[in-house]
Structure 1
Amino acid sequence: MSFWVAFAVMTGVAALAVLVPLLRRQEVATAPDLAVYRDQLTEIERDLKSGLISAGEGEAARIEVKRRLLAAADRNSAEDSARRGRRNRWALIACGLVGVPLLSIGTYFLIGVPDMPDQPLAARQGAPADHQNFAALVQQVEARLAQNPDDGRGWELLAPVYLRSGRYQDAVKARQNALRLLGATAQREADLGEALFAAGADIVTPESRAAFERALALDPSQPKAAYFLGVAEQQAGNVEAAATRWRALLAASPPDAPWRGVVEQSLVELASASQPEASKPHPDTQQPDKPLPGPRVENAARLAEKQAETQASELPPEMHLSMIRAMVEVLEQKLKADGGDVEGWMRLVRSHMVLGDAEKAKTSLASARTALASDPDKLKRLDDYAKELGLGG
């Protein structure tokens, strides 16, 4: 117990240390996660209309973005009442406190092994690339858990890291261990269901569905579980049952619930997909006994780019920086080959701003203007976006 008391104290101190400078520069780095998700969904619709992605890829993209929005909504819902009364400065503090459990994994990595040497400044400055540090941190906590497999808190901290890294089976194991060691709660059951959903090729399998149902038995208002049970009905072809579940979720949700947007959009898409007969597959090509396919994000390069900022908001500082920088490198390489992708340039510039590197953002903006010089419409979109980020001129 004394270990976790010290752990909690250090976590709180770390949170305050991070929040103070953030309060002074929150213009770009603290852009609302929900706005990022809405931008991603709008971008997917635009790609569908322009034919850049197929209908199947578009559906997979929508499901994945909505899944991440719901995950973010779960983390934020606990402090909704405080945030309503304390906008601006105190709202940022509340968000930071919600992120403490994830932030704490960095501290856990550093103090989890008593005989581990410290990390002096010189050593940190000479450290390898961020993605290597990310892997090393995960290995350290894995080593800790190998020595102490009954550390439920450790499993709970590691599970979302596995999930966001695409290690879905490991995420399932971590969620199961946390449930076994720490006890069942609606949130833990819903998180297990989400991990099983990802491990099952983004299909709500019977095992995943059972976890969501257990979550609702513990807390009938658990939004993630309620939403995914609607997805299960949709994937089984039970359109009306899916709509009924989602309408019930909306009816039970407060007006400012952060997940309302994704549920409402799911209902619109459900109605749209069920009405136009001409757009439905020919009966000879339908496979009613198979659920609708879900997305495999590791095979969707476009989605990986769009999720850089989203994943950053869901990981501890050390890890989210590694994730963003890895995404930025991939995006930069792609834009070298295809400089006409204005959305890609906009994401690249914004990613540099999120990382706090305004000079690189300006350099990328200049490169983008050169690449798009022959297309006035794209150039105007880029310039308007740059002004929104404070990079006009």
Structure 2
Amino acid sequence: MTLLWIALAVLLLPALWLLVAPLRRAAAVRAAQRDFEANDRTTEQNLAIYRRRLASLQAAHARGEIDAARLEEDRLELERSLLEDTEHLERAPLASAASGRLVVPVVMVAVVLVSFFWYLREGAEGDLALYTVQQQVMSDPEGSLPVLIERLEEQAQRQPDNPNVWRSLFPLYRDSGRIDAATRALERLVALEGRQPWLLAELAQIRYFAAGREMTAEVQALVDEVLAMEPAQPTVIGMLGIEAFEAGDFEAAIDHWRRAIAGMNNPDSAEALREGIRVAQQRLGVTPDPAKPAVAEGPGIAVRVSLADELAGRLNDDATVFVVARDPAGELPPLAVARARLGELPLTTVLNDADAMAPMAKLSQVETARLTVRVSQSGEATPQPGDLVGTLGGVSVGMIDGDAVEVVIDRVVE
């Protein structure tokens, strides 16, 4: 946050400079204007022209070329023209070069205060703090889901009206099995964002499963509300398919799930529903839809972890072993994290997308990875002096069909 305020201050400096700059030139501009007015001969030139034209008219009258009425008319026209030419030349006295100096600092303070309060109202300070927390946890090689949830809960206490906090917490609660907390997060999100179909659909689904897959009156009311706003909402339609399957209405279940798949963007959820359709078809005694070839593991890394002989006995066998894969540049959160006990070494483990700490950073996203293995006596995610560590870079990510790469724990954290 300190960098943010420094950046805002740097952006304000040019604006404040533009306010101060005219004061530095005020004395020179006043002197130049005074000299110009002192040397201005425009009025004298206009009078000279007036006199020459008046003399010409009088001479024409003396020669009999124009009569007295015409002379008087042309003279009045000359005088009117002279007045028009000299009227705009009348100038007010020049103000002092120091005039208005007190207004400038007042305006400068006003600019700073208005900018500050405008940012507090319209800016994204809370979202920036939320992003910083997520990056700090995910950039830590030993970061974990519980640590991330704990840090996000701190943000929820600090900014309870920021919907992005609850939007981040809800899937973490749900995926970690904390149904009550996930429900509260969704209810808070609905209160902040309004009764949007996708939010109500998620709320209906989580309450449905919390009730033991029972279509309670509360869940049914949410389903009806969602379908009234969005008849093709895939989450609700998929849930209705589950309800039909549980009731033995396999044809209705198949129909619901096919409609849900048509509106889904999540391939994993869609494949789960396809598997449900095949099971329902088997229950009906019809030939199931052909299944796609299964990919058991997907891209990953087989790792064999061992402890250097000279470090044997330094820590207890119950010490936690963290096996972490990261992208080579270190720009993404940890791509995969596995745990073991020191007493289990040497061991071979496989890292793949199932070991991802966050859905936005998976091992399949990179071609090579950097492996870090750390042994922690305290079991804490943050490295501590006395921990044991080993690393290996440039490890290829691919189908797990070859020998495991070897990582030796051979150093002590100072």
- Fold similarity call, TM over 0.5: no
Q: Which has the higher contact order (CA 8 A, sep 6+)?
A: 1
Question: Structure 2 length normalisation: TM-score?
Answer: 0.40
The structure with the largest helix share of the pair is 1
The structure with the largest strand share of the pair is 2
Question: Structure 1 length normalisation: TM-score?
Answer: 0.41
Larger gyration radius, structure 1 or structure 2: 2
